[in-house]
Chains A and B, each alone.
Chain A
Amino acid sequence: GDSVTQMEGPVTLSEEAFLTINCTYTATGYPSLFWYVQYPGEGLQLLLKATKADDKGSNKGFEATYRKETTSFHLEKGSVQVSDSAVYFCALSEKTSYDKVIFGPGTSLSVIP
């Protein structure tokens, strides 16, 4: 079945450091890929998405590129801020299976001043 693997962390970075959170997936079809973010005490919210190979999703300074050849969707940000401290979830949804999203285990990020 489909699955998502991501580095679990926790990841601790200093403010203005470069961030990479790795995400790889296994899918039987051709899925859309997502990054969701969960701030402390809140529900998840969509950060960015990509629906086809080589698409780049971007939002709030975060970027991720859909790499079909390596089945990856790594999240990057050039300069993190304390306000980026959160848990980040990589996820996929098959275009042919319209009613389910598969989430990775989440990566906890702490940014220290």
Chain B
Amino acid sequence: NAGVTQTPKFQVLKTGQSMTLQCAQDMNHEYMSWYRQDPGMGLRLIHYSVGAGITDQGEVPNGYNVSRSTTEDFPLRLLSAAPSQTSVYFCASSYGGSLAYNEQFFGPGTRLTVL
């Protein structure tokens, strides 16, 4: 049982490049989400999904796309990287139903630097 896995762990991009951050979970969780973590700002929600084929925007969605074709995978795409997207990105998953009652399980994170 690997839990939530993320790849890569580190990535350096040039402004304007695109890339995909991978996230997978093996717990059969319905809910998955992407956060970014910036100093002094905690975690901010980028996009989330309540099940395969369903995605929605979070607090800071601009510049990012997601899709959820399977229960296990929830990739995050940066369309045209900008220095403002330099951050640490976390993927999380949870059982279906309310997050007020269900724990989120986090991946180890991807540290992204955009030059």
Number of interchain pairs (Cβ within 8 Å) = 61
Contacts from B to A (Cβ < 8 Å): 4, 31, 35, 40-45, 48, 50, 56, 58, 90, 92, 97-101, 103-109
Minimal beta-carbon separation of A103 from chain B (angstroms): 4
Interface residues of A, dominant DSSP: loop
B100-A51 in contact (CB<8A): yes
Our pick among B31, B48, B103 for the contact of A46 (Cβ within 8 Å) is: B103
Q: Which residue of B lies closest to A89 (CB)?
A: B42
Place the interface of chain A in its size category.
Answer: 20 to 34
Given contacts A99-B48, A105-B41, A105-B42, whether A43 and B109 have CB atoms under 8 Å apart is yes
Question: Nearest CB to that of B45 among chain A residues?
Answer: A100
B31 adjacent to A99 (CB under 8 Å): yes
Residues on B with C-beta less than 8 A from A101 are 45, 99, 104
Q: Is the beta-carbon distance between A93 and B98 smaller than 8 angstroms?
A: yes
Q: In this assembly, does A45 line the interface, its C-beta being within 8 Å of a C-beta of chain B?
A: yes
- Check: A42 CB closer than 8 A to any chain B CB: yes
Q: Does A84 contact B (CB under 8 A)?
A: no
CB-defined contacts of A49 to chain B, threshold 8 Å: 103
Q: Can you list 27 A-B contacts (CB < 8 A)? A: A4-B42, A8-B40, A32-B101, A41-B108, A42-B108, A42-B109, A43-B106, A43-B108, A44-B90, A45-B106, A49-B103, A51-B100, A89-B43, A93-B99, A93-B100, A94-B100, A95-B98, A95-B100, A95-B101, A98-B99, A98-B100, A99-B31, A99-B56, A100-B48, A101-B45, A103-B43, A103-B44
Enumerate chain B residues within 8 angstroms of A100, measured Cβ to Cβ: 45, 48, 58, 99
Contact with B along A80-104 (1 / 0, CB 8 A): 0000000001000111001111011
For B40, list chain A residues within 8 Å (CB): 8, 105
